[in-house]
A and B are shown apart, each in its own frame.
Chain A
């Protein structure tokens, strides 16, 4: 399975081509992080994380339906446990990595309390300690851009 590169600007990969010889390839990029998608005996295929993990049309449609339902049914609720335990929100979390670019784009365009979903899916929290909600949103959007989920 693919070797996942860290989010650094310099990416170094070693590709093995068959048993006969080995070839080392060094790639330096200032663009979005890349994933090395393993091939079977051929040259490794380099793809951006955004391309590799891009949600399918079905993912997009499912997300849109769930997000609209969630917004409609929680917009006047004050408790985040109720907001985030809503079945539609939980189903979005259940979409896993495919939901990340969709959530981030939704945050950019429409706002919303997606921090818990992002934290649950990624097990990360790029926001600074004591961040306000809007500061945390900005931190997640920056994270999404750095990780290649947002362009």
Chain B
């Protein structure tokens, strides 16, 4: 696959606003990548099919509210915006109405990183760059104290 057509899905991304940061890998998705997991594909709808993961103890759905609960399990709490705050790592949860669609993670330098479905990872200047018909809008930001990312990322 190629990212040549990325603007068809994300017209807000302008040339120079983003760069590819990994090869395509269908072994994980954006929900996992937001918490540095590049080994598992997190999805609630595949329970019963081996090869997928969903955290125990949270509802079996892909709603924005459920994604918030998923990330609360990983130490995130809701916050007001996606501005850089020293000592904090932030994520953005995207959705269409109440349904979750995507999650992005803020890097230490203030840029953002996203796993695009089963495609490549990219880094993008703003979370708004991925707002689109496909992902909807940023519904909420969350933050937790920043820690060093695992070496395998």
Contact = CB atoms under 8 A, between A and B. Distances in A.
Chain B interface bracket (under 10, 10 to 19, 20 to 34, 35 or more): 20 to 34
A139 B51 CA distance: 10
Interface stretch (A2-10, A50-58, A125-133): A125-133
Interface string A99-112: 00000000000011
A81 B48 CA distance: 13
A144 to B, nearest CB: 15
Interface in B57-104: 62, 100-103
B41 A75 contact: no
**Interface SS, B side:** loop
Contact of B101 (A71, A79, A111, A137): A79
A125 B50 contact: yes
B39 interface: yes
Given A115-B51, A119-B49, A78 B31 contact: yes
A134 interface: yes
Contacts of B30: 78
Interface in B27-65: 27-31, 39-41, 43, 45-46, 48-53, 62
Interface residues of A, number: 30
Contact of A133 (B45, B52, B100, B117): B52
B138 interface: no
B9 A76 contact: yes
Given A80-B52, A81-B62, A127-B50, A132 B45 contact: no
A103 B17 CA distance: 37
B142 interface: no
A136 interface: yes
Interface string B12-33: 0000000000000011111100
Most buried by B among A71, A128, A133: A133
B67 to A, nearest CB: 10
Nearest to A117: B49
Contacts of A132: 27, 39-41, 51, 53
Interface in A33-85: 71, 74-81, 83-84
Nearest to A71: B1
A112 B101 contact: no
Interface of B: 1, 9, 26-31, 39-41, 43, 45-46, 48-53, 62, 100-103, 115-119, 134
Given A115-B52, A133-B26, 4 more contacts: A80-B43, A80-B52, A113-B41, A133-B40
Interface of A: 71, 74-81, 83-84, 111-113, 115-116, 119, 125, 127-137, 139
24 contacts: A74-B117, A75-B1, A75-B117, A75-B118, A75-B119, A76-B116, A76-B117, A76-B134, A78-B29, A80-B52, A81-B45, A83-B117, A111-B26, A111-B118, A113-B41, A115-B50, A128-B50, A132-B27, A132-B39, A133-B26, A133-B41, A135-B51, A136-B50, A137-B51
